[in-house]
Amino acid sequence: MSETEISTLGEFGLIDRLTRDFPLQNSSSKKGVGDDAAVLDYKDKEVLVTTDLLLEGIHFDVRYVPLKHLGYKAAVVNFSDIYAMNGTPRQITVSLGLSSRFTVEHVEALYSGIRLACERYGVDLVGGDTSASATGLVISITCIGEGEKGKIVYRSGAQPTDLLCVSGDLGAAYMGLQLLERENSVAAASGLPDFQPDFAGKEYILERQLKPEARKDIIEELNKAGIQPTSMMDVSDGLSSELLHICKASGVGCRVYEDKIPIDYQTACMAEEFNMNLVTAALNGGEDYELLFTVPLTDHDRVKALPGVSVIGYITKPELGAALVTRDGQELPLKAQGWNAFYSSETK
C-alpha cells in the first residue's frame, strides 16, 4: 500500500477524494457534500436524527480492528438507531479527526467501509467535517432518517402484559471482543511480528464484533406481518441496560426468562473457554445491535411465527420492577452493568 501524507492533499482535496465515489441514492437527498449544509426534502414524513462519537482507545483499538470494518461498523450502528425507531436511514454526515500517523490510504480504507455500508443500506453521505487531531482517530457520524407519521416507535409505549421480544442472539459481539483482546495479548507476548491468531470455528463471534449488521430485515418482517411494536430500541449497551431504559421510559416493570435469552453456540463455547458466566455475557455484553421490542399480547401468534425473533418475557406493572427469572425460578433484579465508556476507561 502506498503512503500519501494527508497534508499533500489538504482538507478540501481530501474531502473531494473521499466523497467522489458516493453517488446520491435517495430522492430526499437534494444536495449533499459541498456547501455550508446539506439540503434534504422529506415531504410529509417525519425526520429522525441520531449521532455517535467513536474515539480511539475508548471505542476501538486500531491494532486489531481493520479500518474498513471500523468504517462499516461506525455507519451501521447509526442505521441501527434509526431502525430502532421503526424508521429508514437515508443520509449520514461523517466527521473525522485524524492524527499525523494516518495517511490518505488509511482514510480511504475507513471510507471504503462506510461506502459499503451506505450501498448495502441505501444511505447517502451528505456532509461532514475533516480535521487534524492532536492524538488518535475521532469518528463522529450523524444519521438522518425518515419515519411514517404515526408509525414511529418510541421507548415509552410498553404496556403491562405486552410480550418482550428480541431479534437474533445476544452476547456474541462481547465474546468476539474478548477473543480479539486475548489474541492481541498473545501476539504481543509471542514477540513474533508475523504471529497468526487462530480464529477457526470462531468466525461468527468475530464478525458480530467487527462487522455487525443493523436489523433492517426485522423491521421489514414486522411491517409485512402487520405488527406495530409498542416500544423498541436497539441493544447497544447490553440487554439489562436496555430493558431498564424501556421500563423507565414506559413506566412499567418486566420479567425476562433466563432460558429464553437467545445465545449462539459459538458464544456459549467461548464463554466456557474463558470461564465466564454465559448469561452475564448475554445480559451485559452489549454491541449486539439486535432489536429489543414489545408487542401486544394479541400479537403472540404472529410474532412467534417470525423467523429470528425470540419472545423472552413480558411487561408488568411498574411496582413489580424489572427482574430476571432464573432457570430454577428465582427472581433477580436487573441491574445496568452494561458497557459504559466512563467506567471502561478506568477499569480496562
Exposure class string for 100-111: b at 16+ Cβ within 10 A, else e: eebbbebbbbbb
Q: Taking the complex as a whole, how short is the minimal distance between the CB of residue 85 and a second copy, in angstroms?
A: 5
| CB atoms near residue 150 (< 10 Å) | 7
Q: Please say which residue, 129 or 203, places its beta carbon nearer to a second copy.
A: 129
Q: Taking the complex as a whole, how short is the minimal distance between the CB of residue 229 and a second copy, in angstroms?
A: 12
Q: Taking the complex as a whole, how short is the minimal distance between the CB of residue 261 and a second copy, in angstroms?
A: 21
Using alpha carbons only, give the angle 322, 323, 328 rounded to the nearest 5 degrees.
165
* CA–CA gap between residue 139 and residue 298 (Å, rounded): 43
Cβ contact 85:224 at 8 Å? no
Please give the single-letter amino acid code of residue 276: M
Question: Segment 33-92, which members bind a second copy (CB under 8 A)?
Answer: 34-44, 46-53, 55-59, 80-82, 84-85, 87, 91
Question: Segment 132-151, which members bind a second copy (CB under 8 A)?
Answer: 132-136, 138, 140, 142-145, 147, 149
Residue 7 found at the interface with a second copy (CB under 8 A): yes
The set of cell numbers assigned to 152 is 414511529
Question: Segment 232-271, which members bind a second copy (CB under 8 A)?
Answer: 233-234, 249
Contact residue for a second copy among 17, 31, 120, 182 (CB under 8 A): 31
Residues touching a second copy: how many (CB under 8 A)?
A: 76
The set of cell numbers assigned to 156 is 415509552
Q: What is the DSSP letter of 116?
A: H
Using alpha carbons only, give the angle 283, 85, 150 rounded to the nearest 5 degrees.
140
Cβ contact 30:39 at 8 Å? yes
Query: Per CB under 8 A, which region of 158-166, 209-217, 304-312, 340-348 contacts a second copy?
Result: 340-348
Q: Taking the complex as a whole, how short is the minimal distance between the CB of residue 90 and a second copy, in angstroms?
A: 10
Q: Taking the complex as a whole, how short is the minimal distance between the CB of residue 100 and a second copy, in angstroms?
A: 7
Please give the single-letter amino acid code of residue 157: G
Contact residue for a second copy among 62, 152, 276, 320 (CB under 8 A): 152
* CA–CA gap between residue 74 and residue 128 (Å, rounded): 14
Residue 345 found at the interface with a second copy (CB under 8 A): yes
Question: Segment 87-126, which members bind a second copy (CB under 8 A)?
Answer: 87, 91, 93, 95-97, 100, 126
Contact residue for a second copy among 62, 116, 154, 280 (CB under 8 A): 154
